[in-house]
Structure 1
Amino acid sequence: MSKLSHTEQEHMLDLAFEAMEKAYTPYSHFNVGACLKGESGKYYLGCNVESASYTPTNCAERTAVFKAVSEGEQKFSAIVIVCSGKNPAAPCGVCRQVLREFCKDDMPVVFADKDRNVIESTLGELLPHSFGPEDLL
């Protein structure tokens, strides 16, 4: 697993917490923030955005990915996700699949709770035996 240095992980946690403050969660009140690092070294932040009909709700991780892609970045080296809950929350299945589109299996995925209790993983550990672009004919 490619690991983030302690200093970089702390910096990305700080940025993810900043993003979490912008979350729009009038229904669940469960705020999430993400900091995605592009291979260029640029950071892309995202927060979750809820909708009254729930289906169009977007997670922080996908917000960060879509923001990065819309700005021309398509390769990523790490993501850090924070939440307002009492336990670290791993990315949902849809977010894992979207990350898989653009990221290598060994990309660090770090998630933390509101008290900065951290779990370190990789995309491959979170989404084993995944389907990706190389599986298409």
Structure 2
Amino acid sequence: MSLLDAAREVREAAYAPYSRFKVGAAIRSVSGEVYRGCNVENVAYPEGTCAEAGAIAAMVAAGETELIEVAVIADSPSPVPPCGGCRQKLAEFGHADTPVLLATVSGATLSTTIGELLPGRFDAAHMGNAT
């Protein structure tokens, strides 16, 4: 199963009763394992969880901390990029050149990278003088 197929499959499990906007994400870790996540809404909107965050949480819960590929899919007129917070989360566990495939359920795709999604990102190197 491709990474995009994994994202497409988990999208169906999304809990989106308020927006009806289901999103699925799948990430491949450095070990080759695929981790999936879907958006989970809450009646108090800011308390929901994005699909990308769910996939990252599954990877970390399995003891891994490096991703090498990302796929995100939604039912949208054009491919939907991760929100700002998820871009930072992806950057935490991936590299600037990590490929990200954004897709729609109708088949449109956009290939990008974490670095293109979040140029000038804040990372661990900025913490060098923290005590």
- Partners of 1:66 and 1:107 lie apart in 2 by 18
- Partners of 1:84 and 1:133 lie apart in 2 by 34
Say if 2:112 is the partner of 1:121: yes
Q: CA contact under 8 A between 1:23 and 1:33: conserved in structure 2? A: yes
Say if 2:27 is the partner of 1:36: yes
Return the letter of the residue paired with 1:43.
V
Return the letter of the residue paired with 1:63.
G
Aligned to 1:13: 4
- Partners of 1:49 and 1:55 lie apart in 2 by 11
Shift of 1:66: 0.8
For 1:46-94, what per-residue CA distance to the aligned partner results, in whole angstroms no more than 9, with x for missing partners? 0000000011111000100011001101011000000022221001100
Return the letter of the residue paired with 1:124.
G
In the alignment, which of 20, 37, 47 is matched to residue 56 of structure 1?
47
RMSD: 0.9
Say if 2:42 is the partner of 1:66: no
Equivalenced residues, count: 128
Shift of 1:133: 1.3
Any gaps of 5 or more consecutive residues in structure 2? none
Report the TM-score when normalising by structure 2: 0.95
- Identity of counterpart residues, as a percentage? 40
Return the letter of the residue paired with 1:99.
L
Q: CA contact under 8 A between 1:47 and 1:63: conserved in structure 2? A: yes
> Which contiguous aligned blocks of 4+ residues in structure 1 show a shift greater than 4 angstroms?
none
